[in-house]
Chain A
C-alpha cells in the first residue's frame, strides 16, 4: 500500500506555515496514521516527496491504543485519533493531516488544548462529598460510560456551538459532569446542576453532530439525556 501523507507544517521558532508531502509504503494492512508518522520520524533522514530534507514532524501520542486521546488531529478533513485510523481504510492515495482547528497550534500537528481543562476547573467538576457509593448495576454502568471520555477534543471540533474560552464546554465537559451527576443524590446536586445547566445544557443544540465523531464511541445521546434529566429536570 502506498500513501502520500500531506502534512500541514508549522515549524518553530520561525512558525512558517507550509505543506509538505511524504511518501509512505507498507505491506501491513493494520498500519495506522500514527504508526506511519512514527516510522517517518524514525528514519535516519526524512525526505519529502521532492527529495528535500525535512524536519521531524511534531505530533502528540502516548498509548497508541485509543486510550489517551493525545493523538487527535484532522485526517482527510475529519477529527480522528491517528492511532485509531488505519491507512487502508482511507480512500485514495493522498492523506491530509492537519492540527485540530479550534485550538492554538504549538507546532505542526500539536495543539494547545488547555482551554478544555481550564473549562472543567471553572465549571467546578468535582464531588463536594467524597463518599459516593454506587450499588446499582445500571448507575455504575453509566458512570463507567462517562469515565471513558478521552478529553481528545474531536467532538469539540465538529460542534457548531463550541468556541474555546466561552461558557459552553461541549461534550468533553458533559462527560465528567455526567459521572458526578450519576453519583450524587438528588438533594446534593444543586451546585453541579447549576453549573451543568450553564455550561452544557444551555449551549447544546442537541443535534448530536458530535456523536458520530467520538472515537471512543461514547453513548453520548443517552448519557446526555440522563444528565439532562438529573440536572435540569430534577429526575432520579
Chain B
C-alpha cells in the first residue's frame, strides 16, 4: 500500500494530458481507444487481445503488473487438455464447474469458458509459460471438486509465471505504441453521461494530477474481498474501493453474498497466508485431534473426493469440527507422507514459504490451518459478453460476477481472468466495428465532472478514516462469516447504518457496498455453495437465480434474476458424453422479483 500524507481531499483537476511523450501515441486522444482499468491477468489479457487485433488501448494501474494480486496465485489453471490420458473433455470441465457453481451462473458463458480453456493454455504455452514438465511431457494435477486431473501449473507459482509471460508478450505492443501503459495512475471515477459510461477520470498516484480519458472502459480491478481488511489472503491493494465506486455510480452488482473462504489459511503478521489447494492435490490430508488420536474427518465423511471436496464444503466441515466439543479446537493439514520428489519438483516454494513465514516445515510437521477469506465470486454484474449494466462499460476477472456462481473451483479463476479479459475485449472490438462504440457524450465535460465525487486514491487513507475503516471490517467479519443467520445479519446492517463516516467519500461508498453484501445475504433465504444460512440450511430450488443489486433513490435495490438456460447445441454435447447435469432448463420467466432495502445514505 502506498500511503500518502495527503488527506482524502479531492485532487485538483487539470487539463487532459497527453500520455508519456517518450512513446509513439498516435491514437492517444482517440475516443475509440478502450481504457482498461487494472493490469493483473484480466487486464493484461484484454490488452493483449486488443493489440493482437491492431486496436490501440490504454492500460491503467496504480502499480506495475508485477505487483498485481495475480502473481500470488499458486496452484494452477484449469483446461481439459487431457494430458493425463483420463479422457477429460471441456464438457466434463463444464459439468464439474456447474455443479460447484450450484446453478447460479450463466451456463452459456461457463460453457464457452470451458470450451475456450484449452486454447487459452495453448496460447500461454506459446508465450513461453514454463508449465510443469515431467519426462518430456507437460502434466496436470488434480484439484478440488474436479473429476479429472485438469490443473496445469508452474510449481507453486503459477500466477507469477503467467503474469510474467503476458507482461513480456505485451511489451512488444507497448513499444509499437499500441498499448499505452499508464502505470502509477488509478481510476477515481467513471465518466457517466446519461447513464452510459463515456470515459474515465484517472489520478496520478505520484503527482495527484487528475486526467480525463474518453472511450469505452474495461474494468479489471480484481476482487473486492479487501473490504474485509487484513483477514484476507490477497493483496493489500484489492481494497474493494473500485467495486464500491462504480456501484455508487449506478453500476449493478451481483451475487455479493458468495464470498469464498479458503479452507486452509494461516494467520501471519498483517494478513492470512494461503496454503494452496495443491497441498491437498498432492496428497495433503486434513485431521483434527479427537480422543487423543488424529481423525481424518474429510476422508471419513466424503470417501470419494475426501480432502479434495469443493472449498465451500471443506471450509464448513473445518468450522464444524472446530466447534465440536469432542474435538480439539485446531485442524491440521498433514503433508508428512508427501513424496520427497513432489516436494522438490512441485511444492518447493510452498515449503520454503511455510518455513520462512510460520516456522514449520510441512514435510515433517502438520500445519495448523483454518478457513480465511479468499475470493469474491460475486461482483460487477456482466452478461455473457462481459457487458456491464451500464452502456460503454465492460468488466472481467475477479471484479466481475461471471463463471463461478455460488462457489469457484480452484484453478478456474486464473482461467476466468484470462479468458474473460479476452472475451470482454472481443465484445468491445465487435461493438466498435458495429458502430455501437464509442458512445458520444451529450452533456459538456464540465457538467459531467461537476456531477461526480472523485474517489480518493486507493492508497490515500487519511488518519480519521483508519478507525472507521476497521469498524466496517469488523462488522463484516462478524456478521458475514462462513455461517450466517437473519438475526445477526440484521444487527450487522443496523450497525453499518449507524456508523458515522464523516465526510469520507470512500467510506460512504464502502458502507454502501457492505450493505449491499448483507442485503444479498439476508434476502437469500437458503443455503447454496459458499452461502450458508443456519436458519435456512437447505437449498431452495426456486432460488436458483442471481442476486442483483443496484443503488436506487437512497436505498439498495435487490432482485432475484433468472438465468438463461443452456443452449441446445451445448446440451447435445453433454448428452453425447452421457453427462447428467441438473438445473439447465430454460427459464420461462425473465422477470426478476424486486425488493428494496431502504435507508442507505450515499
B130 contacts chain A at the CB level, 8 A cutoff: yes
Select from chain A the residue with minimum beta-carbon distance to B125.
Answer: A133
B513 contacts chain A at the CB level, 8 A cutoff: no
Select from chain A the residue with minimum beta-carbon distance to B127.
Answer: A130
A120 with B236, Cβ < 8 A, contacts A56-B461, A58-B5, A136-B133 known = no
A43 with B168, Cβ < 8 A, contacts A65-B72, A179-B128 known = no
Are B66 and A130 touching (Cβ within 8 A)?
A: no
Are A56 and B135 touching (Cβ within 8 A)?
A: no
Are A121 and B171 touching (Cβ within 8 A)?
A: yes
In the complex, what's the smallest C-beta–C-beta distance from A161 to chain B, in angstroms?
Answer: 23
A63 with B71, Cβ < 8 A, contacts A35-B269, A126-B172 known = yes
Q: Which segment, of A95-103, A106-114, A198-206, A221-229, faces chain B?
A: A106-114
A180 contacts chain B at the CB level, 8 A cutoff: yes
What chain B residues lie within 8 Å of A117 (beta carbons)? 64, 183
Select from chain A the residue with minimum beta-carbon distance to B237.
Answer: A62
Are B235 and A140 touching (Cβ within 8 A)?
A: no
B498 contacts chain A at the CB level, 8 A cutoff: no
In the complex, what's the smallest C-beta–C-beta distance from A219 to chain B, in angstroms?
Answer: 12
Are B126 and A130 touching (Cβ within 8 A)?
A: yes
Among candidates B64, B132, B270, B470, residue contacting A64 with C-beta atoms closer than 8 Å = B270
What chain B residues lie within 8 Å of A156 (beta carbons)? none
A151 with B66, Cβ < 8 A, contacts A127-B127, A137-B133, A183-B128 known = yes
**Bound Cα distance from A136 to B133, whole angstroms:** 7
Select from chain B the residue with minimum beta-carbon distance to A152.
Answer: B66
As a 0/1 sequence over residues 154 to 196 of chain B, the CB contacts with chain A under 8 angstroms (1 = contact) are 1101001100110011011011000000011000000000000
Are B131 and A140 touching (Cβ within 8 A)?
A: yes
Are B130 and A144 touching (Cβ within 8 A)?
A: yes
Select from chain A the residue with minimum beta-carbon distance to B230.
Answer: A38
The bracket for how many chain B residues form the interface is 35 or more
Are B136 and A59 touching (Cβ within 8 A)?
A: no
Q: Which segment, of B290-298, B301-309, B353-361, faces chain A?
A: B353-361
Are B133 and A134 touching (Cβ within 8 A)?
A: yes
Are A56 and B463 touching (Cβ within 8 A)?
A: yes
What chain B residues lie within 8 Å of A42 (beta carbons)? 466, 470
Are A64 and B236 touching (Cβ within 8 A)?
A: yes
As a 0/1 sequence over residues 27 to 47 of chain A, the CB contacts with chain B under 8 angstroms (1 = contact) are 010111011001101111110
What chain B residues lie within 8 Å of A147 (beta carbons)? 130, 154, 157, 160-161, 164-165
**Bound Cα distance from A118 to B62, whole angstroms:** 16
Q: Which of B5, B269, B271, B470 has the most CB of A within 10 A?
A: B269
Q: Which of B127, B128, B184, B353 has the most CB of A within 10 A?
A: B128
What chain B residues lie within 8 Å of A143 (beta carbons)? 128, 130
B487 contacts chain A at the CB level, 8 A cutoff: no
**Bound Cα distance from A72 to B66, whole angstroms:** 13
A31 with B269, Cβ < 8 A, contacts A56-B4, A56-B5 known = yes
**Bound Cα distance from A176 to B171, whole angstroms:** 12
A52 contacts chain B at the CB level, 8 A cutoff: no
**Bound Cα distance from A137 to B353, whole angstroms:** 24
Select from chain A the residue with minimum beta-carbon distance to B468.
Answer: A44
Are B5 and A65 touching (Cβ within 8 A)?
A: no
What chain A residues lie within 8 Å of B572 (beta carbons)? none
Instruction: Name the interface residues of B114-137: CB closer than 8 Å to any CB of A.
Output: 123, 125-128, 130-137
B467 contacts chain A at the CB level, 8 A cutoff: yes
**Bound Cα distance from A53 to B197, whole angstroms:** 42
**Bound Cα distance from A42 to B6, whole angstroms:** 15
Among candidates A12, A57, A130, residue contacting B6 with C-beta atoms closer than 8 Å = A12
In the complex, what's the smallest C-beta–C-beta distance from B502 to chain A, in angstroms?
Answer: 13
Are B235 and A62 touching (Cβ within 8 A)?
A: yes
A121 with B130, Cβ < 8 A, contacts A44-B466, A62-B68, A127-B169 known = no
**Bound Cα distance from A125 to B168, whole angstroms:** 6
The bracket for how many chain A residues form the interface is 35 or more
Among candidates A39, A112, A132, residue contacting B125 with C-beta atoms closer than 8 Å = A132
A131 with B126, Cβ < 8 A, contacts A56-B463, A68-B66, A180-B168 known = yes
What chain A residues lie within 8 Å of B273 (beta carbons)? 65
**Bound Cα distance from A119 to B9, whole angstroms:** 35
Are B136 and A62 touching (Cβ within 8 A)?
A: no
What chain B residues lie within 8 Å of A186 (beta carbons)? none
B63 contacts chain A at the CB level, 8 A cutoff: yes
Q: Which of B66, B72, B172, B271 has the most CB of A within 10 A?
A: B66
Select from chain A the residue with minimum beta-carbon distance to B162.
Answer: A147
What chain B residues lie within 8 Å of A60 (beta carbons)? 1-2, 63, 67
Select from chain B the residue with minimum beta-carbon distance to A87.
Answer: B269
B69 contacts chain A at the CB level, 8 A cutoff: yes
B3 contacts chain A at the CB level, 8 A cutoff: yes
B268 contacts chain A at the CB level, 8 A cutoff: yes
What chain B residues lie within 8 Å of A131 (beta carbons)? 126
As a 0/1 sequence over residues 103 to 114 of chain B, the CB contacts with chain A under 8 angstroms (1 = contact) are 000000000000
What chain A residues lie within 8 Å of B125 (beta carbons)? 132-134
What chain A residues lie within 8 Å of B356 (beta carbons)? 66, 84
A69 with B67, Cβ < 8 A, contacts A44-B467, A134-B130 known = yes
A32 with B175, Cβ < 8 A, contacts A107-B5, A140-B131, A147-B130 known = no
Are A68 and B235 touching (Cβ within 8 A)?
A: yes
A73 contacts chain B at the CB level, 8 A cutoff: no
A11 contacts chain B at the CB level, 8 A cutoff: yes
Which A residues lie at the B interface, using CB under 8 A? 11-12, 28, 30-32, 34-35, 38-39, 41-46, 55-70, 84, 106-107, 110, 112-114, 117-118, 120-122, 124-127, 130-137, 140-141, 143-144, 147-148, 150-151, 176, 179-180, 183
- New A-B pairs, 19, CB < 8 Å, besides A68-B68, A120-B171: A35-B270, A41-B1, A44-B463, A56-B463, A58-B3, A60-B1, A62-B69, A65-B268, A67-B71, A110-B2, A125-B168, A134-B130, A135-B136, A140-B130, A147-B130, A151-B66, A176-B168, A179-B128, A180-B168
20 residue pairs of the A-B complex, CB under 8 angstroms, read A12-B4, A30-B268, A30-B269, A34-B269, A42-B470, A44-B466, A60-B2, A62-B235, A118-B22, A121-B175, A124-B175, A126-B172, A127-B168, A132-B127, A144-B130, A144-B155, A147-B160, A179-B128, A179-B164, A179-B168
The 4 A-B residue pairs with the shortest CB-CB distance, nearest first, are A35-B269, A55-B5, A143-B130, A126-B172
Which B residues lie at the A interface, using CB under 8 A? 1-6, 22, 63-64, 66-69, 71-72, 123, 125-128, 130-138, 154-155, 157, 160-161, 164-165, 168-169, 171-172, 174-175, 183-184, 206, 230, 235-237, 268-271, 273, 353, 356-359, 461-463, 466-467, 470
